[in-house]
Amino acid sequence: MTESPERGRKRLGIYLAHFLDHVEGHMGEIGVQRDALAEDARLGALIDRALADMAVARASLNAVLRDLDGEAPAPASPEAVHSPFHSHAHSHDHDHAHGHSHDHAHDHCHCHDHP
């Protein structure tokens, strides 16, 4: 069975909202840990550039999410979007391939009707 365009847009909105929550949290963690590079100007500059690049990408994805939410298109902004796709707050642990596990608290929708 083929997914309807409306359902596909809803699924994309839910995924983007969840992804943006994770990106925001991870960017904050990287920013806090950036002090560990205080003595290495080259690595510090690389982290700073990466965070700036991620802020631009996040702003672009926020603009997509705004449009999916039915809001008037707005210029891309690095500020987080509070989306109606976010339905309630919760936190959970997740493990990364490098073995580092940590807790994240964020709002996102649990959609039980998608595969």
- Which residues participate in the annotated binding site? 21, 24
- Give binding residues for Ca(2+) as ranges: 21, 24
Alpha-carbon distance of 64 to 78, in angstroms, equals 13
Contact 103, 93 (CB under 8 A): yes
Token readout for 103 is: 């807790």
Sign of the C-alpha dihedral, residues 84, 90, 91, 94? Answer: negative
Spell out the residues 6+ positions from residue 65 whose beta carbon is closer than 8 angstroms to its own: 13, 16, 17, 20, 81, 83, 85
